[in-house]
Chain A
Amino acid sequence: MPLEYIPGIPILRPYVDPDNQPFWDAVDRHEFVLQRCSDCDVYFQPPRPMCPHCLSMDSLEWVPSSGRGEVYSFVVFAADRMAYPGMKIPYVVVLVEMEEGVRLTANIVDAEPDEVYIGMPVEVTYNSPMEGLTLYQFKKRAS
């Protein structure tokens, strides 16, 4: 069963502030970018105003990601208890380790819960659960 939403219940929006606005603006354009320190060549997640390694506040940049990664861990929301009421159960949240090394969570939009495994190759896709909201998501990919 692919990811399904329950009509009439709003999906919570990401909190957007100056540190992560470039990320969510890119998602709106169906682009996937990650924050990196150009001096240290290190990626961070979540975004921040200062490189935690060299403490530079000027060397941070947003760079396009390959969008590819592997499932590092996952949770199956199997019961109404503890699940978000706006989403049909069972749904899956995957923690994906991107090729760049950082890990992000999202739903997997095209897999049954029992298809998902640690190490599964996935790639970024996008959906729009309600008007005016675009999210990045993950879908299956051939290894």
Chain B
Amino acid sequence: MQMLEEYRTKSYRQHLRPPVEENLIRDKTAIVGIGQTEYSRDSGRDELDLACEAIKKAVADAGLKMSDIDGLEALTLDRVSMPTLIGSLGIENLRFTSEVSFGGGGACALVMHAAAAVASGAADYVVCYRALNEASGHRYGRGDGYAEYLKAAPTLHYGYYFPYGFLTPLSWAAMYTKRWMHEYGIKLEDTGWYSVVLREYAQNNPEAIFYGKPLTIEEFHESPMISAPLRLFDCCVDTDGAAAVVVTTADRAKDMPHTPVYIAAAAQSSPIETEIQTSYNRPVVAGLPETWYVGQELYRQSGLGPADIDVAQLYDPFSYGAMIQLEELGFCGPGECVDFCQGGDRIRVDGELPLNTSGGLLSEAYIHGVNLITEAVRQLRGTAHNQVTDAETAIVTAGPGLPTSGLILRK
């Protein structure tokens, strides 16, 4: 229980572990290429097709040839067959592959594992990718269709949820959100600004699913309640599409076309009694200990703190999923994130902490968080649609409420 004790007393960074002077990843590895397909509600293509396009673009963006790529990194949830993908890409000899579990919680870990691979010399250029037809194909986020192909819950712990009609990520998140609102006295009528600001960002991003479709705070509050306390516009947007990034060493990055985006820190966390979005048996349900731990580890490795971060890309499967992370990462105190987002000014592009500047998973696209990494890279290159002036550092996180991961990137 030491982990939870550290979490409760918020003592870890100050007392328990020394800062990192140097490691093999910090500032010695970099993201050098990004690529993405069109983000749509119905791609009309299969996921292999989407993956090929995003990877091809990322490799070209890095100024590389496909034959330079010798590592591939994916999520275990990705349905693209990696051997088939390798054949389509024409990679002659792949030296390194790895898969990260825990769904969207693994998004930043893709880059972490790729960085470890290039730092160790296991590979020179590793592509991390995610391709999914989440809108038009099988919607694991929705839960319908289960009756047709499942007779029983898929795992032991889900056996306690599925028979009760409790089988969607949104509703699992609603359970900890309700408890969090109860403990901190959050009122439903005070919420909504997070969703409104993200939709504003999407109005300047032609790639966003919600480009051309603004949202007012009144429309937010009129939107239907889905899994109370969560409304329709608290939810992310199911998307068809793919995104990819190329990781290499800082030495190689110096001679490549774009400003290198260095990896200042990379971390994963799976605290005790963590289930996949249903961690209801640890003492703290009203919070996200895994995100807190990842944040502490990122700050410890990078030597940076919340005040040093210029722009944040926080995984938002639903609004509170990102907002509570603001508390866990130290951008505001416990129970203060709704106040932090009130009126929206602090999280807008010229605010204290520009947040999910492409529109995030709520309003740009749901590419399982890999599109948050590509947006952080654009911010540090200075090429974002909603560009934060002189952005030099970015924090990126992966799915909250399950084993998760995070990155601090810098110019």
A78, A85, A104, A107: which contacts B228 (Cβ < 8 A)?
A78
Asked if A73 and B176 sit within 8 Å, CB to CB, the answer is yes
Contact with B along A15-26 (1 / 0, CB 8 A): 111011000100
A104–B228 CA distance with the chains assembled, in angstroms:
19
The answer to whether A19 and B156 have CB atoms under 8 Å apart is yes
**Are the C-beta atoms of A75 and B178 separated by less than 8 Å?**
yes
CB of B86 closer than 8 Å to a CB of A = no
- Which range holds the interface residue count of chain B? 35 or more
Contact A87 B153 (CB under 8 A): no
Q: Let me know if A73 and B166 touch, CB within 8 A.
A: no
Q: Does A11 contact B (CB under 8 A)?
A: yes
In this complex, the member of A82, A84, A95 whose beta carbon has the largest number of chain B beta carbons within 10 angstroms is A82
The answer to whether the Cβ of B151 comes within 8 Å of any Cβ in the partner chain is: yes
Contact of B171 among A72, A75, A106, A133 (CB under 8 A): A75
A95 engages B150 (CB within 8 Å): no
Question: Given A15-B158, A105-B161, are A10 and B228 neighbors across the interface (CB < 8 Å)?
Answer: no
A14-B280 contact given A84-B165, A105-B166, CB 8 Å threshold: no
A15-B280 in contact (CB<8A): no
Query: Residues 141-155 of chain B: 1 if any A CB is under 8 Å from the residue's CB, otherwise 0?
Result: 011101100111111
> Do B147 and A73 touch (CB < 8 A)?
no
Interface residues in A46-81 by Cβ distance below 8 A to B read 46-47, 52, 72-79, 81
Q: Are B147 and A78 in contact (CB under 8 A)?
A: no
Q: Which residue of B lies closest to A90 (CB)?
A: B228
Q: Does A29 contact B (CB under 8 A)?
A: no
Contacting B164 at CB < 8 Å: which of A47, A52, A135?
A135
Contact assessment for B226 and A85 in the assembled complex, using a CB-CB cutoff below 8 Å: no
Q: Chain A's nearest CB lies how many Å from the CB of B11?
A: 22
- A12 in the interface (beta carbon within 8 A): yes
Chain A residue numbers with a CB within 8 Å of B281 are 44-46, 102-103
A83 at the interface (CB under 8 A from B): yes
- Are B228's CB and A15's CB within 8 A? no
What CA separation (Å) do A77 and B155 show in the bound complex? 23
* Contact between B171 and A93, CB atoms less than 8 A apart: yes
Report how far A13 CA is from B143 CA in the complex, Å: 15
A91 contacts partner chain B, Cβ-Cβ < 8 Å: yes
- Do residues B165 and A86 form an inter-chain contact, with CB atoms below 8 A? yes
Chain A residue numbers with a CB within 8 Å of B155 are 15
A10 to B146, CA, bound (A): 10
The answer to whether A46 and B162 touch (CB under 8 A), given A75-B171, A82-B142, is no
Contacting pair A72 B164 (CB below 8 A)? no
1/0 contact string of B213-232 vs chain A (CB within 8 Å): 00000000000111110001
**Residues of chain B within 8 A of A1, CB atoms compared:** none
**Contact between A10 and B175, CB atoms less than 8 A apart:** no
Chain A residues with CB under 8 Å of B226's CB are 78-79, 81-82
The answer, yes or no, to whether B157 is at the interface (CB within 8 Å) is yes
- Is B270's CB within 8 Å of the partner chain A? no
Note all chain B residues with C-beta closer than 8 A to A20.
Answer: 156, 159
Judged by a CB distance under 8 angstroms, whether B8 is at the interface is: no
Minimum CB–CB distance from A73 to chain B (whole Å) comes to: 4
Distance to closest chain A CB from B153 (angstroms) = 4
Check A106–B164 contact: CB distance below 8 A: yes
A19 CB, nearest partner CB in chain B, Å:
6
> B119 on the interface (CB 8 Å rule)?
no
Chain A hits for B179, CB < 8 A? 72-73, 95, 118
Assess the A16–B165 pair: CB atoms within 8 A.
no
- Given the known interface contacts A73-B179, A84-B143, A103-B280, the answer about A14 and B152 at a Cβ–Cβ threshold of 8 Å is yes
Quick check: is B373 within 8 A (CB to CB) of the other chain?
Answer: no
Q: Given contacts A45-B281, A75-B228, is CB(A87)–CB(B165) below 8 Å?
A: yes
Looking at A24, A46, A52, A118, the one whose CB has the most chain B CB atoms below 10 A away is A46
Q: What is the CA–CA distance of A15 and B159 in the complex, to the nearest angstrom?
A: 5
Q: Give the residues from 103 to 125 in chain B that come closer than 8 angstroms, CB to CB, to chain A.
A: none
> What are 26 A-B interface contacts by the 8 Å CB criterion?
A12-B146, A12-B150, A12-B151, A13-B163, A14-B162, A15-B152, A45-B160, A45-B281, A46-B157, A72-B179, A73-B175, A73-B176, A73-B182, A74-B175, A77-B171, A79-B224, A81-B232, A82-B226, A84-B143, A84-B165, A86-B165, A87-B165, A93-B164, A93-B171, A107-B164, A118-B182
Q: Please list the residues of chain A having a beta carbon within 8 angstroms of any beta carbon in chain B.
A: 9-17, 19-20, 24, 44-47, 52, 72-79, 81-87, 91, 93, 95, 102-107, 113, 118, 129, 133, 135
The 8 lowest CB-CB distance pairs between A and B, nearest first, are: A14-B159, A84-B165, A76-B228, A73-B179, A13-B152, A15-B159, A12-B162, A87-B165
